[in-house]
Amino acid sequence: MFETLILILDATLRVSTPLILAALAGLFSERAGIVDIGLEGKMLGGAFAAAAAASVFGSAWIGLGFAIIASVGLALVHGFACITHRGDHIVSGVAINTVVAGLTITLGLDWFSMGGQTPALSGDERFFAITLPFADALADVPVIGLIYSELISGHNILVYLAFALVPATYWVVFKTRFGLRLRAVGENPHAVDTAGISVAFIRYRAVIICGVLCGIAGAYLSTAHNAGFLKDMSAGKGYMALAALIFGKWRPVPVMFACLLFGFLDAVAVRMQGVVVPGIGEIPVQAIEVLPYVLTVLLLAGFIGKAVGPKAVGRPYVKERA
């Protein structure tokens, strides 16, 4: 029983990683007042760029670099539409998601002729699990050994990076001058402008950080969690990350726990496939797979209490004339 729990928690960490990265990306964007429905598209674009580049150049690190470049490019498009031209944030985000969903398949067909997929990745083309010091030696130690060798050790570097970015994000957003300005831009951009600070510059920096984190999330999906790119492989994770962001009320640590909750449900769903429940019988696979998404809808429907975001989020900023 304990071993099964550890295995579920181990899977939870892996499944939660792209959610955490995308949710932190959304946190930077929305704290600056930019609604980013396009997390899904940037993650998907990053996943394709990472897998394609890793396949061509034979390096997962090069793939990660291309994923970040692709995602930041999409983030700048979103910023150009919403910040420079004061366009509708939701429309821009949905447009990015729609374009990327079609573009990745089209490029995949043209470049690799594999039905929109990339070639299977292996060797240096992927990020593999890292065995931490003494993990093998402690594996037979009761309780502690299993926790250390199975739960803490054995993940790839992007998993550890995602969890390390949580306290780093807290420090940046709440303990630095940039974080103070970021939050101020999301709450009262006119006051920031009056202080002589460029609102557009702060917001562009926020969407670039958002693009970087989404690129890492996308690279994780295709070069670490999976061995290549598949059609629509982000599978709504960008929207779930947005739900976790609201659930966590735009604060890094609660956002991480919300992502872990979604990841835990996903991991449990996988483990329960084919399980026969007394009096009910075998639970349909579809009913289990839909659980994380049902929870997302319930949370967004208001079962978490009132979540109040930054006051200026989603509102175009028009500089006041003297």
The pLDDT tens digits of the residues spanning 237-264 come to: 898 898 889 888 889 999 999 899 888 8
Q: pLDDT category, 18, cuts 50, 70, 90?
A: very high
In a domain, 265, yes or no: no
Task: Assess if residue 104 is contained within a domain.
Answer: yes
Please indicate, yes or no, if residue 318 is contained in any of the structural domains: no
Cα 244 from Cα 194, distance rounded (Å): 33
- Which residue spans within the chain are E strands per DSSP? 276-277, 281-282
Number of domains making up the chain: 1
- Using the predicted structure, report yes or no on whether residue 84 has a pLDDT greater than 60: yes
The pair of structure tokens assigned to 260 is 């872990």
Give the residue numbers spanning the domain of 142: 2-238
Which range (71-75, 129-133, 291-295) has the least confidence? Answer: 291-295
- The answer to whether residue 244 sits within a structural domain is no
Q: Does residue 256 lie in a domain region?
A: no
Residues, the chain, total?
A: 322
User: Do residues 46 and 218 make contact, with C-beta atoms less than 8 angstroms apart?
Assistant: yes
Candidates 200, 184, 201; CA nearest to 192 is 184
Look-up of token digits 């004061």: 86
Instruction: Give the global pTM.
Output: 0.91
Burial label for 197, CB within 10 Å (0-12, 13-18, 19+), is middle
For residue 94, is it within any domain?
Answer: yes
- At residue 130, φ and ψ (nearest 5 deg) are -110, 130
Query: For residue 76, what are its two tokens?
Result: 């700048």
The two structure tokens encoding residue 295: 């929870």
186 vs 177, 311, 318, CA distance in Å? Answer: 14, 6, 14
Task: Identify the band that residue 300 occupies on the pLDDT scale cut at 50, 70 and 90.
Answer: low
Tell me, yes or no, whether 293 lies in a domain.
no
| Contact by Cβ (8 Å): 67, 218 | yes
Q: Is the pLDDT of residue 303 over 90?
A: no
Task: Check residue 155 and report its DSSP letter.
Answer: B
Residue 307 lies in a domain: no
pLDDT tens sequence across 124-180: 889 988 888 877 777 777 778 788 888 888 889 999 999 999 999 999 999 999 999
